[in-house]
């Protein structure tokens, strides 16, 4: 039952961890708003901004960014049922954390800090999370890493 109605503290802790941990992986792969955690990610981000309009780049970056927090949330932090509840019924909470991440990245980044670029990045990240949620429902519907780890510890 706790999975269906997570407390606000548990919910926001999981979303915060997903956005921070997944966001760090995302920044290592592809820089966001011209800021990356690796030299490759920064070069990739700068090349994207040089070769396409700012809105298209924001759309691509928002999509790439959301992949990693969504995977982190689904695979490491939530049971399958809780993940579905968060993506369906706790949309505003997820939007809050993606909004904070997007504004923070745009503030510290070097490209695309306009309001329209931030909104495009935000919409792309929210849409990507929902698309991934649907894919996870069919690809790994009931797979639970935490439950699998608990089961293996009982065996040994």
**Residue 12 belongs to a domain:** yes
1 is a domain residue: no
Task: State the burial class of residue 15 (Cβ atoms within 10 Å of its Cβ: 0-12, 13-18, 19+).
Answer: buried
% of the chain beyond a pLDDT of 70: 89
Number of domains in the chain: 1
Q: Answer whether residue 3 is part of any domain.
A: no
67 sits in the region (left: phi over 0; alpha: psi -120 to 50; else beta) called: alpha
Q: Which residues contact 49 (CB under 8 A, 6 or more apart)?
A: 34, 57, 111, 112
pLDDT tens digits, one per residue of 2-58:
678 889 999 999 999 999 999 999 999 888 888 889 998 888 888 888 899 989 988
| Residue 2 forms part of a structural domain | no
**Measured CA distances, 25 to 16, 20, 46, 149 (Å):** 14, 9, 18, 23
* β partners of residue 32: 35
- Contact by Cβ (8 Å): 145, 83: no
Specify the pLDDT at position 144.
Answer: 73
| Residue 129, in any domain of the structure | yes
The whole domain housing 96 covers 8-155
């Amino acid at each position: 039952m706790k999975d269906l109605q997570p407390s606000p503290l548990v919910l926001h802790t999981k979303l915060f961890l997903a956005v921070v941990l997944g966001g760090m992986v995302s920044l290592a792969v592809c820089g966001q708003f011209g800021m990356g955690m690796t030299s490759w990610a920064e070069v990739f981000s700068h090349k994207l901004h040089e070769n396409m309009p700012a809105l298209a780049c924001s759309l691509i970056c928002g999509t790439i960014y959301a992949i990693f927090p969504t995977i982190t949330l689904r695979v490491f932090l939530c049971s399958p049922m809780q993940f579905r509840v968060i993506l369906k019924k706790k949309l505003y909470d997820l939007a809050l954390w993606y909004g904070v991440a997007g504004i923070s990245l745009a503030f510290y980044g070097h490209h695309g800090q306009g309001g329209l670029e931030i909104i495009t990045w935000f919409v792309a990240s929210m849409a990507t999370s929902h698309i991934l949620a649907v894919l996870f429902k069919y690809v790994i519907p009931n797979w639970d890493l935490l439950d699998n780890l608990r089961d293996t510890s009982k065996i040994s």
